[in-house]
Structure 1
Amino acid sequence: MQSIPMTVRGEKLLRDELNHLKSVVRPKIIADIADAREHGDLKENAEYHAAREQQGFCEGRIQEIEAKLSTAQVIDVTKMTNNGKVIFGSTVSIVNVDTDAEVTYRIVGDDEANIKENLISVNSPIARGLIGKEVDDMVTIQTPNGAVEYEITEVEYL
């Protein structure tokens, strides 16, 4: 089984979600099912069927999280020596050579990726173009609008 790279933050978020599902959501669904059963005929009981469907979603998500955590390779970049190289978990500032627009991304696992927070998946085209490069390197990233050239201005292991 292939390990899934994950930041310390990403692992904590998944563990928190798993704990919430097991300690809050699952008991509520069980109570909803029991409550709906008391309403009689299960064939035409919409509340019962809705609660059973929610139970299926909840149990599926619990299994998915447990599987990810069991294969997670947690990488803590704060414990590594920053040699200026872009690696999984690092925070990278890049400047568009043509427009001088600067943007900072953190390279994270698929589950954590959120472009609104500048968290990009390690599997994204931008991250794949940056990984292994160093401060002051020029990189060309293929975007939907064509190739864009960037200069790496800063690499942080936060």
Structure 2
Amino acid sequence: MTDTTGTWLTQEAYDRLQAEYDHLVNVGRVEIAKEIDDRRQEGDLKENGGYHAAREEQAKQEARIEQLRHILRSATVGEASTDAGIQSGTVVVAEVMGREMKFLVGSREVAGGTDIDVFSAQSPLGAALMGKHPGDETTYTAPNGNEIPVKVISAEPFGG
């Protein structure tokens, strides 16, 4: 899996995001529309904090729906492999600037309820590691312009 344009997801993560999307579209939209209507009935909209809060919540919900739609549409679902080196879906242990770090190269959506740090495959660190194997050394450019040395210690498919 070397495609870095979409989002790699486990089947569990895909199902979880699909369920969230379905709930927001089928239940959440109805609930927020009712909330807005109830607040509208309270009177003057200029001074109605509840109405404005409900509209703000609606905007956040619609943004999340669009985000989920994009993720689900572009998702690659399956098991990660390290045969071709580090890819989206790989848990990496690396020495970064002399400090050992463990993180997932992939999507926060995949990490779900875990506490593992996540770097996307498009991030400077993630991009520098794509295709690398344990023992490989590389660098990436930090936002401040410094070159950061990285040595891959281990890489294994994300298991959830």
TM-score by length of 1: 0.72
Partner of 1:11: 14
Tell me, yes or no, if the aligned pair for 1:3 and 1:73 is still in contact at 8 Å: no
Aligned residues: 151
Partner of 1:129: 128
Counterparts of 1:41 and 1:150, CA distance in 2: 59
- Given the superposition, is the C-alpha separation of residues 3 and 121 from structure 1 closer, same or farther in structure 2, using an over 3 Å criterion? closer
Cα drift, residue 92 of structure 1: 1.3
Partner of 2:90: 90
Partner of 1:36: 39
- Given the superposition, is the C-alpha separation of residues 42 and 139 from structure 1 closer, same or farther in structure 2, using an over 3 Å criterion? closer
Alignment gaps of 5+ in structure 1: none
- Given the superposition, is the C-alpha separation of residues 3 and 73 from structure 1 closer, same or farther in structure 2, using an over 3 Å criterion? farther
State which of 55, 72, 77 in structure 1 corresponds to 2:75.
72
The percent of aligned pairs where both chains have the same amino acid is 28
Question: If you compute each CA radius of gyration, which structure gives the higher value, 1 or 2?
Answer: 1
Deviations 1:20-58 (A, max 9, x none): 424553333233123224324556544334423433432
Cα drift, residue 139 of structure 1: 1.3
Counterparts of 1:59 and 1:145, CA distance in 2: 36
Alignment gaps of 5+ in structure 2: none
- Given the superposition, is the C-alpha separation of residues 71 and 29 from structure 1 closer, same or farther in structure 2, using an over 3 Å criterion? same
Deviations 1:93-129 (A, max 9, x none): 1124x63x21112111376689x73211110111111
- Given the superposition, is the C-alpha separation of residues 42 and 145 from structure 1 closer, same or farther in structure 2, using an over 3 Å criterion? closer
Tell me, yes or no, if the aligned pair for 2:84 and 2:131 is still in contact at 8 Å: no
Tell me, yes or no, if the aligned pair for 1:113 and 1:121 is still in contact at 8 Å: no
TM-score by length of 2: 0.71
State which of 105, 108, 113 in structure 2 corresponds to 1:107.
105
